[in-house]
Amino acid sequence: MDRQTAPIPEDAKEELCAGEALHLWDHLTYRNDNIEMTQTFIALAKDSDFKLFLERDV
């Protein structure tokens, strides 16, 4: 199953309001931005202990 196009069950009765969608979008973009920033730090890190610490949390 593709992560970006997960199917919606036909019997789904839940609705998503704009505020909830915004809240989810905020959390996902915050998470993805932090993952990208951590990966950049890993690529640039010279200290092996610090690099190991960063890699452990990604």
Is residue 10 included in any domain, yes or no? no
CA dist., res. 40 & res. 32, Å (int): 12
Is residue 41 included in any domain, yes or no? yes
What pLDDT does residue 1 have? 46
Looking at the predicted structure, is the pLDDT value of residue 55 above 80?
Answer: yes
Instruction: Report H helices in 11-47.
Output: 18-44
What pLDDT does residue 10 have? 81
Q: Which domain covers residue 53, as residue numbers?
A: 25-57
Domain count, the chain: 1
- Reported as a single tens digit per residue, the pLDDT across 10-51 is 888 888 899 999 999 999 999 999 999 999 999 999 999 999
Is residue 20 included in any domain, yes or no? no
More confident residue, 11 or 3: 11
CB half-sphere exposure, 21, CA atoms < 13 A: 5
Is-above-0.75 flag for pTM?
no
